DNA sequence: ATTAGTGCAAATCTTTTGCAGTATA
DNA sequence: TATACTGCAAAAGATTTGCACTAAT
């Protein structure tokens, strides 16, 4: 996979354009958040984003507020891994996907497919509107299994 | 569907037996929680369970602690509807299922099927162990759509 | 110049923990 | 009676809000 950098830049620009299109201001904190989300493999919690920024980029509160507005404009997407902390990833929009999340280190791999369309259809037939779904797979990754005997890979939360 | 009551009683007894089998004590608060979960259609949050009990049955804290131990012994199952509050249902154990949850009133209908088995298999092929998944469908139920013009159906949280 | 965005402090909401007292097996 | 369970108060962690200040458009 070449052009990692170029691809990240393109994602970042697309996200910033979404902000502009939605009459939201392009500020340093927002550029910082989207920069991380486009360059590093997430998704990340607000806390994790904050730690990844260089010191004094912005307050943690600003990250929460920025993520909220950026989700509304479609620049980012919120993920729920069932562990009491929301995570965010950049919204490429081009395809629907889910994750395999390690129970030990919390690292998430992307699954470029979805099997829940049938369920959504069923929900619509039952008369529901604005139908969406939540689908995540959990397990212990090979890396963590290996480290299990020794030291478990550390993770926040 | 006849025998609602009898069925609820059977579920309750089965759950209590699970507690005994796991050397956990059968106390009033636990009987109250399992009673509600077996008789009423959930799943419910700790708070909702507390409100449904007759006054002074037990403290909210006890509900949290009871749910934790009862989940360990398999008497109840925890559901995550992606809204920052865990919900619990009685674990009948006989079949895997998921829910359609209304975004407005939070009422959950049970979906007696699952389409994520393929994803679990894929995760195992990737080397993950202890694989499970989280799958929920969301929408606005017909009832709430109808009430939308008038008063939205109230919901906690 | 407007108005959205920000920092700081404090509030909120859900869940957890410490500890001394109570009840179950 | 031994030890798990409970109540109360208080802590903890994630997220939100109030308000005065700052900066993007």
CATH number at residue B62: 1.10.10.10
Q: How far apart are the C-alpha atoms of B52 and B35, rounded to whole Å?
A: 11
Q: Give yes or no: residues B130 and B86 share one domain.
A: no
Q: Give yes or no: residues B50 and B116 share one domain.
A: no
Chain A residues whose CB is inside 8 A of the B142 CB are 126-128
Q: Give yes or no: residues A74 and A100 share one domain.
A: no
Structural domain including B144 reads: 96-157
**To 5 degrees, how large is the angle CA B140–CA B143–CA B145?**
55
Listed by number, the residues of chain B in 61-120 with a beta carbon closer than 8 Å to a beta carbon of chain A are 80-82, 84, 98, 100, 102-103, 109, 111, 115-116, 118-120
- Residue B82 has a pLDDT of 85
Q: Give yes or no: residues B60 and B36 share one domain.
A: yes
A119 torsion bin: left (phi>0), alpha (psi -120 to 50), beta (else): alpha
Which of A73, A95, A117 is the C-terminal boundary of a domain? A95
Q: How far apart are the C-alpha atoms of B71 and B76, rounded to whole Å?
A: 5
Q: How far is the alpha carbon of B132 from chain A, nearest alpha carbon, in Å?
A: 5
Is residue A105 marked as binding? yes
Strand B129-140 with B98-102, pairing = parallel
* Global pTM value: 0.87
pLDDT in tens, B103-123: 888 899 998 888 888 899 999
Q: Give yes or no: residues B53 and B73 share one domain.
A: yes
- Residue A83 has a pLDDT of 86
Which of A95, A118, A149 is the C-terminal boundary of a domain? A95
Q: Give yes or no: residues B29 and B61 share one domain.
A: yes
Q: Give yes or no: residues B25 and B90 share one domain.
A: yes
pLDDT in tens, B52-107: 999 999 999 999 999 999 999 999 999 999 888 999 999 987 778 899 999 888 89
Q: Give yes or no: residues A24 and A41 share one domain.
A: yes
- Residue A137 has a pLDDT of 94
Look at A1 and B9; give whichever has higher pLDDT: B9
Q: Which of B81, B100, B129 sits opposite A126 (nearest CB)?
A: B100
Q: How far is the alpha carbon of B145 from chain A, nearest alpha carbon, in Å?
A: 8
């Amino acid at each position: 996979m070449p052009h990692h950098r170029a691809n990240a830049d393109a994602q970042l620009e697309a996200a910033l354009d979404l902000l502009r299109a939605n009459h939201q201001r392009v500020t340093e904190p927002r550029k910082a958040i989207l920069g991380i989300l486009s360059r590093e493999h997430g998704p990340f919690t607000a806390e994790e984003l904050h730690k990844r920024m260089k010191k004094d980029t912005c307050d943690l509160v600003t990250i929460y507020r920025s993520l909220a507005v950026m989700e509304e404009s479609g620049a980012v997407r919120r993920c729920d891994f069932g562990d009491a902390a929301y995570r965010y990833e950049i919204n490429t929009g081009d395809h629907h996907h889910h994750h395999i999340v390690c129970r030990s280190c919390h690292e998430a791999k992307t699954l470029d497919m979805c099997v829940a369309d049938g369920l959504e259809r069923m929900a619509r037939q039952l008369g529901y509107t604005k139908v969406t779904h939540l689908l995540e797979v959990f397990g212990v990754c090979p890396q963590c299994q290996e480290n299990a005997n020794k030291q478990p890979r550390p993770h926040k939360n």
